[in-house]
Structure 1
């Protein structure tokens, strides 16, 4: 899961930062609190993986292409039917 990988990475970097300062008391508690805070923050975000994003982008591209094809087809049908409608309107009743 993207959240857990990111949390682990950030927590590891934070731990490395703290390991360079052994004089800071309560390092483990601080790391635990940081991990909890990160988990809460990322839980509120609506994140997706790059693979999920790319898949949805491909679906959107195909949908747009199909929409453009349908719009062109509709335009052609409207253009073809317009002269026939004008001819019917001009005939005497």
Structure 2
């Protein structure tokens, strides 16, 4: 989920840019800015930081396993015992 605090802050900053003569419309514009920002961000294919961190950890564990298997294969090949493909 996208952090609504950041969207609120951005919408507030945008509404502060409204000329002084339109102060009456400032609150409505801020709500419109907020809704537009949320809508645009929701259409993007984004993941949460938590999801990203979980996938990063999975990838790291997979990389570690792959490295270990590559080392083991290199040791076997160095001993002259190339893996037998028919053993699978």
Answer with 1 or 2: which has the greater Rg: 1
Runs of at least 5 residues in structure 2 that lack an aligned partner in the other structure = none
Partner of 2:21 in structure 1?
A: 23
What is the alpha-carbon root mean square deviation over aligned residues? 2.6
Q: Give the TM-score taking structure 2 as reference length.
A: 0.64
**Any gaps of 5 or more consecutive residues in structure 1?**
86-93
Count of equivalent residues: 81
Report the alpha carbon displacement of residue 51 of structure 1 after superposing the two structures with TM. Answer: 4.1
Aligned twin of 2:6 = 6
Find runs of 4+ consecutive structure 1 residues off by over 6 angstroms.
Answer: none
Native 8 Å contact 1:3 1:43 kept in 2: no
Taking structure 1 as the reference length, the TM-score comes to 0.62
SS at match of 1:81: coil
